[in-house]
């Protein structure tokens, strides 16, 4: 599936649909840093590795600041797909429902045609094999 299959400005999955993918839910409950590492690598388009993001999320979580990291990437995902910050704020979700939020972000990427478990390079290869001309994740178009 690509971004074109989903209406711009609408989530494709609800915050509390965690059990739609039971294995993701269990992985995120016990190893949230791994899931967030996969999400971050996709949102940063491979410039931040899954391992680096995982370690940073773990370090920030150990000093009770993981919500700051989570909030940053939740906002980035919302801005990328023009998703609403509702029914709850990014801060509230990152503080109080982080497992549900991280799972939702992962499912959102997957529903829009990216598989975070493959990493950015793995997805790029998959899209190339499938003949996808425009990746489902909007790429930055910054120029100098």
Asked whether residue 80 is assigned to any structural domain, the reply reads yes
* Residue indicated by tokens 């839910």: 25
Flag whether 128 is in a domain: no
Quick check: is 110 in a domain?
A: yes
User: Which is nearest to 6 in space by CA: 141, 142, 139, 136?
Assistant: 136
User: Would you say residue 85 lies in a domain?
Assistant: yes
Does the pTM of the predicted model rise above 0.75?
yes
Mean pLDDT of the chain: 89
Q: Containing domain of residue 72, as a range?
A: 18-119
Residue 136 pLDDT: 81
Is residue 4 domain-resident? no
Q: Are 50 and 38 in contact (CB under 8 A)?
A: yes
Query: Does a structural domain hold residue 91?
Result: yes
- How many domains is the chain built from? 1
d(CA 30, CA 15): 18
Per residue in 23-53, pLDDT tens? Answer: 999 999 999 999 999 999 999 999 999 999 9
Query: Is 70 domain-assigned?
Result: yes
The reply to whether 100 falls in a domain is yes
The C-alpha atoms of residue 115 and residue 113 are separated, in whole angstroms, by: 7
Closest CA to 103 of 27, 48, 42: 27
């Amino acid at each position: 599936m690509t971004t074109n299959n989903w209406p711009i400005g609408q989530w494709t999955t609800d915050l509390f649909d965690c059990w739609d993918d039971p294995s993701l839910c269990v992985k995120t409950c016990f190893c949230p840093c791994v899931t967030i590492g996969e999400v971050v690598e996709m949102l940063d388009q491979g410039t931040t590795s899954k391992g680096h993001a995982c370690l940073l999320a773990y370090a920030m979580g150990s000093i009770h600041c993981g919500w700051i990291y989570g909030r940053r990437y939740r906002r980035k995902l919302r801005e990328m797909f023009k998703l609403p910050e509702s029914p709850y704020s990014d801060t509230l979700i990152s503080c109080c429902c982080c497992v549900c939020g991280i799972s939702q972000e992962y499912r959102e990427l997957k529903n829009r045609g990216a598989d975070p478990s493959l990493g950015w390079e793995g997805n790029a290869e998959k899209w190339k094999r499938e003949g996808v001309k425009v990746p489902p994740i909007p790429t930055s178009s910054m120029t100098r």
